Amino acid sequence: MTQAQFTIEEIPFFDPIKIANSGQCFRWKILDASHVELVALGRYLQIAYLGSERFAFSCPRSEFNDLWYNYLDLARDYHQVADCILPDDTYLREALAFGEGIRILNQDPFETLICFIISQRRSIPSITTCVERLCALAGRKIDLPLASLESQELFVNLPEENYFAFPNCEEILKLTPEQLDSIGAGYRKEYILRASLAVFSNDANLQSWSNLSDESLFENLTSLYGVGKKVANCVMLFAYARSSRFPIDVWVQRIIDKYYGGSYDINRYPSTAGIMQQLMFYYERNKSIT
């Protein structure tokens, strides 16, 4: 008996469209009101909302269990996280009501590192453009589950375009200077190259770094040229499941100044400050748009 080429799952507190707009990932794309596609972990995935917290994923059950369950952080009980919000934290309560369904992804460390190096002092649309150019130039072409998807009415048919995996360090280092210039990374080009070189030479063994303490991991990440505390905290939060990390960017600083009197005690949420940060960030960026 052949395995079904899709997986259906009931998932509470999960909103792919909000995740796509949350700023933690740059390769998720909203196709329509109930479909999202993404490229991650070297694969293509489409997610369809079926109603009543039920979702269809364009992959076999085995792939869903092996890869996407962890990537999408489905083991965590987000209702429990929500229950931790203090009664007097009015702003965060509003942020939760607005952003319910956002999960913190467990992304690939190298991809997250390079993406957030690119992110510094740029808008999210601009980051997305730059990341896509890098993938198209240096990334491996991905085999699409086209035939199997088209045979299912659950999913949106794929456009006839190519999808590329995020490149590894070797693939980035193989780019010519002209190619690297053409992705439009500007002065961050040198940061990308030196981070890639550190990983290639094994000075930065990103896989083994997952065993480090928060303090050591932060120290190692910030030792990379072009990686400061903001980018390091984003990598820790979005790729190393360090949910206590609280990246402070211009948006979050604005929130702290406006709603928290200029200082924010992250010890209010010792193990979930990063999740709270993401809710705040999403709320502040999107509340005026919708």
Partner DNA sequence: TACCAGGTTCTAA
Partner DNA sequence: TTAGAACATGGT
Binding site for DNA (CB under 7 A): 22-24, 116, 119-127, 129-130, 181, 184-187, 222, 224-232, 234, 247-252, 277-278, 281, 285
Q: Closer to DNA at the Cβ: 67 or 248?
A: 248
Q: Which is nearer to DNA, 248 or 266 (CB)?
A: 248
Cβ-based burial of 176 (10 A; exposed 0-12, middle 13-18, buried ≥19)? exposed
Shortest CB 62 distance to DNA, Å: 30
Q: How far is the CB of 88 from DNA (least distance, A)?
A: 23
If the CB atoms of residues 6 and 240 are measured against DNA, the closer one turns out to be 240
Sheet containing 7-10, strands listed edge to edge, beginning at the edge strand earlier in sequence: 7-10, 54-57, 43-51, 35-40, 28-32
Considering the complex, state which of residue 125 and residue 261 has its C-beta at the smaller distance from DNA. 125
Shortest distance in whole angstroms from residue 193 CB to DNA: 12
The residues facing 37 across adjacent strands are 29, 46
* Shortest distance, position 196 Cβ to DNA, whole Å: 15
Tokens 């491996």 label which residue?
140
Q: How far is the CB of 49 from DNA (least distance, A)?
A: 22
Q: Which residues make beta-bridge pairs with 51?
A: 54
C-alpha dist (Å) from residue 41 to 19, 85, 106, 126, 244: 17, 32, 10, 22, 24
Structure tokens at 88: 């007097």
Query: Which residue, 163 or 218, is less far from DNA as judged by CB?
Result: 218
Question: How far does CA 150 lie from the centroid of its chain?
Answer: 27
Which of these, 106, 11, 8, lies nearest to 60 by C-alpha position?
Answer: 8
**Residue 147 C-beta: closest distance to DNA, Å:** 32
Cα–Cα distance measured from residue 18 to residue 72, given in angstroms and rounded to the nearest whole number: 13
Burial label, 256 (beta-carbon count in 10 A; 0-12, 13-18, 19+): middle
- Give the nearer residue to DNA in terms of CB position, either 56 or 231: 231
**Shortest approach of DNA to residue 168 CB, angstroms?**
22
125 vs 159, which CB is nearer to DNA?
A: 125
Residue 130 amino acid letter: C
Q: CB-wise, 56 or 92, nearer to DNA?
A: 92
Burial of 44 from C-beta contacts in 10 A (0-12 / 13-18 / 19+):
buried
Minimum distance of DNA from residue 181's CB (angstroms): 6
Angle at CA of residue 112, ends 108 and 118, nearest 5°: 155
